[in-house]
Structures are given as C-alpha cells and as structure tokens.
Amino acid sequence: MIIIRAPLYFARVCCAAVVLAASLPLASAARADDLERAGPWAFAERINESTHAQEQIALTPAAEDPDIWLLLACTQSRFTASLMHNVGFAYAVGSQSTLILRTEDFPVISVAAKSIQRTQLTIDATTSRHLMPMFIQSERIVISINDADSTARDFTFSLQPNDLSLAKIVRDCATGS
C-alpha cells in the first residue's frame, strides 16, 4: 500500500514508480516520500531486499502531458530507458513500437520499444546503454510514437539539470558491464 503525503507532482511520480516497479527489475516501488527532486527530475535509490543490489530510478514528466514520463533505471549495471503513462496509453500501442528520439546535439534515432502492459514502452538494455550519453548530455529530448492509426504523438522532456538526479545512475550504469 502506498501512502502519499506529498504534493500532486510527487503523487504522479509515485504512481509512475509503482508502474515501473511492476515491470522492471526493481524490488519495490518508490513511495512518494522516498523520492527526491532536482530540476525536472524525481529520483530514488534503494536496496533490493532479495538481491541486496543498489537500484536507481529517475523520472521526468512530458511537457505535453503530466501523466507521461521518461524513466531511466539502473539495477546491477543494467540501464534501461522507458516511456511510461501513469494509467495506460489512451491510444493503442503494439507489443513492439518504434520510438523516434530527437535532441539538438545528436542525430535523430529510431529505436524499437517493447510494450509492457498498457503503461510502459521500454527500450532494451543494450540499446538504452548506447543512448545513455544522449539522455545525460542533452538539454531536452522529443520522443515521438505513432499510434495504431499512424498518428504521430510527440512528448518533450526537459533533461537538465540532471547532475544530482542521474549521478547514481551514471555511477552504477555508465561503466558497468
């Protein structure tokens, strides 16, 4: 059970963290009062009670929709990037979707993302690791997804400042195997 004793922003972050925990290798969801905030990011670190491994998550909301989040996660040197919706994407996304990633300093990138339930599109860990510099160094990123009707939906995420919020992810995942 989640006890929310924080502003609505953290309640939404908590909801996203709960959804994330259900599908990524994080031991348990971050409670709203466990989350720290820096710039556009909310983030948490905890120990997985079963594996005793450090796990980190960082979330930043989309400018167009506060229920859409970019989530970066690291556990046991495994880095993943996901596009999440607190409740579930209102439009159909297939079991495999293509995300288009655009930033000012990197080329446009098209990546496959696996659908996890109706709430999450996750880029595989190997591809996510290669994209890590884009997430860390860019000011903002626009992620586009086509729904089942081929209508493009764009979501803009502010990525800076991220020195505090992503420091532990960088520490554990940037050089991990």
Average pLDDT score over residue span 96-103: 91
Q: Is the peptide bond before 161 cis (omega within 30 degrees of 0)?
A: yes
Structure tokens at 137: 């160094």
| Residue % of the chain over a pLDDT of 90 | 52
Average pLDDT, the chain: 80
Enter the DSSP assignment of 83: E
At residue 173, the pLDDT reads: 86
At residue 121, the pLDDT reads: 92
Per-residue pLDDT at 25 exceeds 50:
no
Architecture in CATH for domain 8-174: Sandwich (2.60)
Domain boundaries, the chain: 8-174
Average pLDDT score over residue span 29-53: 80
110-121: per-residue pLDDT in tens? 999 998 888 999
Conformation bin of residue 59: beta by default, left when phi > 0, alpha when psi is -120 to 50 = beta
At residue 76, the pLDDT reads: 82
User: Tokens 């009670």 appear where?
Assistant: 49
Length of the chain: 177
At residue 175, the pLDDT reads: 67
The Cα–Cα gap between 103 and 137 comes to: 10
Sign of the four-CA dihedral 13, 14, 19, 24: positive
The Cα–Cα gap between 107 and 138 comes to: 12
Per-residue pLDDT at 176 exceeds 70:
no
